[in-house]
Every structure is written in C-alpha cells, then in structure tokens.
Amino acid sequence: MLASPLRMHIPDGFLTPAIAVIGWAIAVAIIVLALRQTRRQLDDRMVPMMGVLAAFIFAAQAINFPVAAGTSGHLIGASLAAIVMGPWAATLIMTAVLVVQGLLFQDGGLVVMGWNVVNMGVVAAFSGCLTYTLARRLAGESRVAILAASFAAGWISVVIASLAAAIELAASGTSPLTLAVAAMGSVHALIGIGEGIITAAAVGLLLVSRPELLKAGATAPGGRTATLVLVGLAVGLLVAAFSPLASPSPDGLEAVAESQNFLGLGQAAPYRILPDYTVPFIAHPALTTIAAVMLGTLVVFGGAVLVGRAATRRQASRG
C-alpha cells in the first residue's frame, strides 16, 4: 500500500498559524498573477495539455520510489510542466494537483496548503524553468543537451523546493535552520535524481512524439487535440494502475521529521474522504489504491482544464 501521505506535502501542525497565513497570502497573490499571465500567454488549444500534464503528475506522484537509507521519494512534476507550458501555467497545473490531493485525499494539510502550493507549485516550477532555460542556452539545441537540461531542471526544482520547506520549518521553530537545511537538502538531493530522470524521460518522449510542444509559443493543432488528450489521459491512468507498487518507506519530509523528532506534531485532517489514497468501500488493498488514484487522476484532469478554460474565456471576452 502507499506510504503515509506526509511526503514533501507539509501536514498541518508542522508550521505555526502565523507562518501558515503568510503562506496563504503569498500563494493567493501568485495564483492571481499566474492567471493573468497565463491569460496573456496561453493559446486555448493548449488548455487540454494542462489537463493531461496535471493528470500525469498526479498519478506519478502516487508512486514513491526508493532511495538510499530506507527513504523514498516521488515526482513533483513542476519542472516538467514548466518546460512544456511555461512557469505560470505550471503554477496553475500544480495548484490543481495539490488542491485535489489536500481536499480529497488529505495529502498535505489544509491550513498549510498555501506553502505546499508555493513550494511545489511556484518555487519548483520557476527554479526548474530557469535551470532548463540557462542549460539550453549553454549546452545548445542537440537532443543530448535538451535531455541534460531537463534532468538538471528536475533535480534543481526538488532541491530548491525542499530548502524552501526547511526555511518554513525553521521560521515556525519546528527545526533549527542549519539542521533543517542540511537534512532536507541532503535527502532531497538524492530524491532529485529520480525527478531528473523522470523529467528527462518525459521530455525525451515528447521529442520523439510531439517535438512542437517543446517550442516557445507552441499550440496544439485542433485536429489532433482529441487524440492528444485521449492518449495522454490513458497514460496517466496507466501510471495510476501501478500505484500499489509505491515504496512504503518514509518520504523525504517524513524521514527528516522522524529523525529530528517533530513527526508527532503532524495533525490529521478534520475529515476523511479518500484517506491515504483508498476508496472506503473497496477492501482489496491494491484495487482500492488503484481506484482512488484513477479517480483522482480524472478529477485533476477536469480541474486543470476548467482553470485553463476560465482563463481563455476571460481573454476572449476582454478581446
């Protein structure tokens, strides 16, 4: 079955209420800005790609992979979304993923959701995008250079996001800054290798199948959009089918919290809908996980598409 849903998703209790409020204020401000920027930059034919990427990222995040010292990690996906869609659209994609995880699956706290959005949606997306852009400029346009830049973007995004979480823990008095930075940085430097490999593999697949999506100002031709969506959604659901294979080892934040003795500060959500990625009326361990992750994949897809549609409709009405 899946590992405990603490992961890099900060649970309620790890941060003080004052710090949590600051996180919400920053997240809301950036989301509003992301909507405006996406409204200006996003072609409505690319909106389905927001749903496809969100669905894939959600499903892939459910599969923890083992790393050293009995710790596991999972894809964040923000750098991949930023490479394909740009950092502003990636912020909205990751927000859709994180909101569904928090509200439906109690994965990450509700009070601290603002910081989860900032860390994994904003910091990871922009640091990954900046790294990818700089690496492409330095290394060139060859296939190897693009894959190397994708790997670097994935790795950097995880490390920088983990350091942001460490600063928030320190600001809340949960862990001393030096200890939090050292512990979070070292663990997630290993997890980032997996992120980099997955990001590079996904970009490599796009280079073969849809290279135009990796170009600035890319659009999805109308005649092929339906096929793109169906294939992309099918891939997301296929990934979800492998979710019972997730490593049961604690993920980065959980491992750090346990080693520094603040794991007990974590608070459970005040309600349970699909807790720990299970469906209450399905008893079989593997089937309940698959059903929950597949359901979440579809919900995230729909949510991301609705956000994209809302942005482009406002653009059209203003035009």
- Domain harbouring 298, CATH code: 1.10.1760.20
Run means of pLDDT, 10 residues per run, the chain, 319 residues = 51 96 98 90 81 95 86 92 94 96 92 97 97 92 94 97 97 96 93 96 90 67 70 93 89 89 90 90 94 96 90 57
Q: How many domains would you assign to the chain? A: 1
Angle in degrees, 0-180, between the axes of helices 17-41 and 285-318, rounded to the nearest 10 = 60
> Would residue 223 count as lying in a domain?
yes
The pLDDT value given to residue 2: 33
Q: What is the CA radius of gyration of the chain?
A: 18
Which residues is 71 bridged to in the sheet?
A: 67
> Would residue 201 count as lying in a domain?
yes
The pLDDT value given to residue 285: 92
> Would residue 1 count as lying in a domain?
no
Which tokens hold the place of 226? Answer: 């339906």
Cβ atoms of residues 304 and 49 within 8 Å: no
Query: Could you give the CA distance from residue 118 to residue 261 in angstroms, rounded to a whole number?
Result: 25
> Would residue 230 count as lying in a domain?
yes
Which tokens hold the place of 74? Answer: 């999972």
Query: Could you give the CA distance from residue 163 to residue 300 in angstroms, rounded to a whole number?
Result: 27
Which tokens hold the place of 250? Answer: 């604690």
> Would residue 48 count as lying in a domain?
yes
Cβ atoms of residues 151 and 197 within 8 Å: yes
Cβ-proximal residues to 193 (8 Å cutoff; 6+ apart), any chain: 67, 155
Which H helix or E strand runs over 71?
A: strand 71-73
> Would residue 2 count as lying in a domain?
no
Collapse the DSSP code of 230 into the 3-class scheme (helix H, G, I; strand E, B; otherwise coil) and give the result: helix
Structural domain boundaries enclosing 276: 17-318
> Would residue 106 count as lying in a domain?
yes
The pLDDT value given to residue 223: 53
The pLDDT value given to residue 222: 52
The pLDDT value given to residue 1: 32
Cβ atoms of residues 154 and 198 within 8 Å: yes
> Would residue 7 count as lying in a domain?
no
